[in-house]
Amino acid sequence: MRLFFYLFLFNVSVSVLSVSAQSRRITGVVTDENRLPLPFVNLYIEGTIEGTTSGDDGGFELITEQKGELMLMASFVGYITGSVRISTDTLNPAPLNIQLLPRLQAVREVVAYAGNYLLKSASTLEQKGAVDLIATAGSEGDLFKAISLMPGTQAPGLDGRMMVRGGDSRESQTYIDGMHLLSPYTTTAQHTPARSRFSAFLFDGITFSTGGYSQEYTQSLSSILPLTTSDESRQSKLGVKLMNVGSGGGGTKAWNNGSLSFNFDYTDLQWYHATTNPQQRIYWKKPYREYAGQSLLRFQLRKDTYWKTFLSYAGTRFTHYEEKPFSQLRREMGYDETNLYLNSTFKTRLASGVNFFGGLAYSLNGRTAEEAVVPDDRLLVRQRELHLKVKAAKRFSSFYKLETGVESYDRGYGMQYRDSFVFEKDIRHRIGGLFVSNDFHLTDRLFLNLSSRLEYISSDRSYTWLPRMALNYEWKGLTVSAVAGKYQQMTDNDYLLYNPSLSAETNRQYLLGLYFRDKNRIYRAEAYHKAYDKLPALRNGHYQASGSGYSRGIDLFVNERRLLKHWEYTVSYSYNDSRRQYLDYPEQAVPSFVSRHNASLSLRYENMRWLSIIGLTQRFASGRPYHDPNREGFMNALTPAYHTIDVSWILLAHKNLIVYACFSNLLNRRNVFGYDFTPLPDSQGFYDSLPQRQEQPQAFYIGFFLTLGKNVAYEASNF
C-alpha cells in the first residue's frame, strides 16, 4: 500500500509540474469606450476551442497550452470584435486591457449626399432599377433623358444633351467601372436630339452626381455619371428585341468562374421617318443608320477578386439635306462616325483588408462630314484618350478609412479640313493626378470626408491642388450634408486649336442639402454656388484663360408613393442664376444654354394585376436668353417657355416578354431654343429672324424585349 501511495504522489507531482511547464495563464479586463467594465464578453484564442467569459467586473482568466504567437479575440453583441496579439514565451505576462467599441448600426462608407443620386444600387437614397428609370415618361428609352428629369438638370437644348446646374453639356462626364468614357453620345443631324450610346440595362449600378463628387473623378465642372457593370453573371441566357427604329439581341454564356456577355443593336430610321409627321423640315437622302455592339468578359479569379473587360463599338452613317437660314438653298450633308471604347479593370481584397483596383481604358472617336461648310469640302475630326488608374483603400477601423490612387490621361485631338486648300491641326496633352481621401466615422450620426487631388496638365505645365471637404449628419431619417471643393477641366478642343497652352477651367463648389427618406417617400432640398475661373475668353482676336462667372441655385425633389394605392408621383424643381463673361461676351451675361426655372411632374401607375406600368410627365422650363440685335444691350431677350407632355406604357406581357411604348411631346408643341438673325439689316435697319426648333418635335417609340430562359422573369438585359 505504501508503495502504491508513493507512486500515486509521484504521478500527481509529475502531472502538476508538466502542466505548470506547458500551460500559460492569461489575465486581463474588458472595458467599453468609456472605460467601464463589460461583463459576459466571449474571449477565445483564434483557431482553437480554448476560451472563457469575462466576469461582472470585466475581468477574465484563461489557461492555454498553446505556444508561440497567439491572437486573443473578444466578441460581444453590439460591439466590434476586438483582438490582441500575445506571446506565450513570457512566463508572467502583464494583465491585458481590451477595449471594445460599439458596433454602429450601419458602418457605411462616408458618402457626400449633397448632389448625389444613387439611381440603381443598394443605397440609403433612391433605389431604382433600369426598368424604373426607363418607365419614367419622357425618357424615350434613353438613359440620359431619364436622368435629365432629376433636379439640377434642365430641359435639353437643340442637341438633346444633358446640362446640369448652369453648365453646358461638356461639363458633364461619364465613367464606366471607374474609367473615363470620352464620347457618351452618338452623332446626329443638326437640330436633332442626340442619344446616349449605352442602354441602362447594361449596368448594375447607376450613380448621378450634380456636384461635390469624389476627388477620384476629374475633368468635370458640373456633374459625373459613374456606370458600373456587374461583377458576375451566373446564368446563361439569350434575348432578342424588335423596335420601330431597329432590332437587336444578345446573351450571356456563364461558367463556373466567369461569363461572356454580348449585345448587338441595329438602328435604321428609314421606316420611322416615312411614318412620322410630313411637316417636319428634315429631309433624308440616306436615313440614320447605326451598328452598335457591346461585350463584357468577366472572371472571378478567387474570392473577392475580379477581372472584367468591357468593349463597345458603334458605327453611324447618314446623309441629309440641310436648309440654311434665310436661303432657299439646301446642302447635302453626309456624316460618318466611328466610336470605340475598351476598358479592362481588376479589383481584389487582400488578406490585410486592402481593396485594390487597377484599370485601363481607351477611347477613340472619328468623324467625317461631307459639305460641312461649303459644297465639296470635307472635315475630319479624330479624338483619342488613354486612361490609366490605380487605387487602394483600407478601412482601419469603424472610425477611419483611407483611399489613395494615381491616374493619367493621354489625349489627342486632330482636325483636317479640305476644300481648295488643306488645313490641319493636331494637339496633344497629358493629365496626371494623385488623389487621397480620408473618411471619418466620427459618431454613429456624423461623417466627415477630407480629400484632395494634385493634378498636372502638360498644356501649360501647371500643377493644381484641388481640396474637398464633405460633412454629413444623420438623425431619425433626416440627413444634413455640406460639401466644399475645387474642380477643374481642360478647356474645349475648339479653343485649344487656337491656343494650345490655355489653362484648364476651374470652379469652386459649395453645396448644402437636407434629405429625408422613409419607406414610401423621399424629400430633398439643396442649395449650391459655383464660382468659375479661367474660362476661355476672346481678347483682341486671341483666346485667353481670363473668363469668369458663377452659377447658383436651389434644387427641390419630392417622391411619394403613399397617397394612393398603385400610384407614385415625383416633383422636381430647379432654380438657377448663372452669369459668365467668356468667349466673345462683352460683359457678364446669362449664357444662351441656361434656363432659370425648370420643373417636372411625373406620375406613375403600377398595377401588377394588369401587368402594366403607365407613366405621365409634364415638363416646364423658362425661356432661354438670346441676343436680339434689334434691341439695346447684350443677351437682351428670352425665348418662349418650354413645355412638353410625355406618356409611356410598360406591359409585362409574359414573364419573358416586356413591351415598352412611349410618346413624347404629346401636344406637338413647337418649342423654341433661340433665333437666327440676318447678318445685315434691311432698309429700315431691322434684322429679320427665324426661330431655332428641333427638326423632330415629337417622338414615338415601341419595343418588344424577349428573353429566352426558363428561370428569367422580366429581364430586359442581355448582360
CATH of the domain at 634: 2.40.170.20
Of the pLDDT bands very low, low, confident and very high (cuts 50, 70, 90), residue 39 is confident
Distances, alpha carbon 565 to alpha carbons 471, 569, 608, 715, in Å:
37, 12, 12, 25
Residues 286 and 259 reside in one and the same domain: yes
Residues 251 and 330 reside in one and the same domain: yes
pLDDT reading at 403 higher than 90: yes
Distances, alpha carbon 432 to alpha carbons 219, 393, 456, in Å:
11, 20, 5
Task: Tell me whether residue 389 is in a domain.
Answer: yes
Residues 127 and 90 reside in one and the same domain: no
Domain final position from 99, 132, 148: 99
List phi, psi (to 5°) of 21.
-80, -30
Output the pLDDT for position 131: 63
Q: 83 or 717, which is more confident?
A: 83
Residues 84 and 165 reside in one and the same domain: no
Residue whose entry in the numeric block shows the C-alpha cell 437622302: 285
Of the pLDDT bands very low, low, confident and very high (cuts 50, 70, 90), residue 419 is confident
Rank 39-53, 108-122, 492-506 by mean pLDDT and report only the highest: 492-506
Task: Tell me whether residue 107 is in a domain.
Answer: no
Give the domain extent around 66: 12-99
Give the integer Cα–Cα distance in Å for 11 and 586: 105
Give the integer Cα–Cα distance in Å for 362 and 388: 9
Amino acid in position 615 = G
pLDDT reading at 77 higher than 80: no
Of the pLDDT bands very low, low, confident and very high (cuts 50, 70, 90), residue 593 is very high
Domain final position from 65, 99, 133: 99
Residues 595 and 647 reside in one and the same domain: yes
Residues 43 and 190 reside in one and the same domain: no
Task: Tell me whether residue 406 is in a domain.
Answer: yes
Of the pLDDT bands very low, low, confident and very high (cuts 50, 70, 90), residue 466 is very high
**Mean pLDDT, to the nearest integer, of 184-212?**
84
List phi, psi (to 5°) of 709.
180, 140
Torsion over CA: 708, 710, 716, 718 (sign) = negative
Q: In total, how many domains does the chain have?
A: 2
pLDDT reading at 433 higher than 80: yes
Q: 109 or 126, which is more confident?
A: 109
**Mean pLDDT, to the nearest integer, of 452-469?**
94
Residues 147 and 280 reside in one and the same domain: yes
Residues 47 and 167 reside in one and the same domain: no
Residue pLDDT, tens place only, 626-684: 999 999 999 999 999 999 999 999 888 887 888 999 999 999 899 999 999 998 999 89
**Mean pLDDT, to the nearest integer, of 345-349?**
96
Give the integer Cα–Cα distance in Å for 674 and 656: 45
pLDDT reading at 47 higher than 80: no
Residues 200 and 53 reside in one and the same domain: no
**Mean pLDDT, to the nearest integer, of 295-301?**
95
Q: What is the mean pLDDT of the chain?
A: 85
Of the listed ranges 54-68, 119-133, 220-234, 410-424, the one predicted with least confidence: 119-133
Q: 112 or 52, which is more confident?
A: 52
Give the integer Cα–Cα distance in Å for 500 and 534: 14
Distances, alpha carbon 204 to alpha carbons 112, 119, 265, 300, 718, in Å:
21, 10, 20, 17, 12
Output the pLDDT for position 11: 41
Residues 541 and 580 reside in one and the same domain: yes
User: Which segments within 283-329 are labelled E, that is strand?
Assistant: 283-302, 305-323
Task: Tell me whether residue 4 is in a domain.
Answer: no
Residues 422 and 526 reside in one and the same domain: yes
List phi, psi (to 5°) of 131.
-65, -40
**Taking the CA of residue 98 as centre, how many other CA atoms within 13 Å lie in the half-sphere pointing to its CB?**
33
Task: Tell me whether residue 663 is in a domain.
Answer: yes
Of the listed ranges 111-120, 309-318, 355-364, 370-379, the one predicted with least confidence: 111-120
**Mean pLDDT, to the nearest integer, of 377-382?**
91
Give the integer Cα–Cα distance in Å for 699 and 707: 26
Which CATH number is 69's domain given?
2.60.40.1120
Residue whose entry in the numeric block shows the C-alpha cell 505576462: 93
Task: Tell me whether residue 401 is in a domain.
Answer: yes
Output the pLDDT for position 384: 96
Task: Tell me whether residue 1 is in a domain.
Answer: no
Domain final position from 74, 99, 124: 99
pTM for this entry: 0.82
Residues 598 and 546 reside in one and the same domain: yes
Task: Tell me whether residue 468 is in a domain.
Answer: yes
